[in-house]
Amino acid sequence: MATSRMMCPICAEDFDDVRHVLKHFRYRRFPCGHQGCTLEFYTKVERTTHCTQTNHRKTFRIIRVPYLDKLVKLMIKDARRLFKRRAAPPAAVRP
């Protein structure tokens, strides 16, 4: 899968991983699920790594916040546009 560069509408940083946006919202969708473990992760991969390392039982639970899902989608769209606009050669710089 090709990664596309984006520019964050919140902090103006370049990124190519959706995780960047999730971090701004502290939107951790993947809880560990092991009894007594309260850790939550941004991506499935992170959770899997954690569970493998700690021998914690893996669940398939995903926390969904529809409002945040919408917001993240919107941000990604904006971020793509922002990056493209900046990368494009300036039309008329001189007066």
* Contact residues: Zn ion, CB under 5 A: 8, 10-11, 13, 32, 34, 37, 39, 56
Residue 51 CA to residue 61 CA, distance in Å, equals: 13
Residue closer to Zn ion (CB basis): 53 or 91: 53
In the complex with Zn ion, the residue whose CB is nearer, 22 or 32, is: 32
Give min distance, CB of 67 to Zn ion, in A: 19
In whole angstroms, the minimum distance from the beta carbon of 88 to Zn ion comes to: 21
Whichever of 8 and 22 has its CB closer to Zn ion, that residue is: 8
Q: Is 32 exposed, middle or buried (0-12, 13-18, 19+ CB in 10 A)?
A: buried
Residue type, 79: A
How crowded is residue 75: how many other Cβ atoms within 10 Å of its Cβ?
20
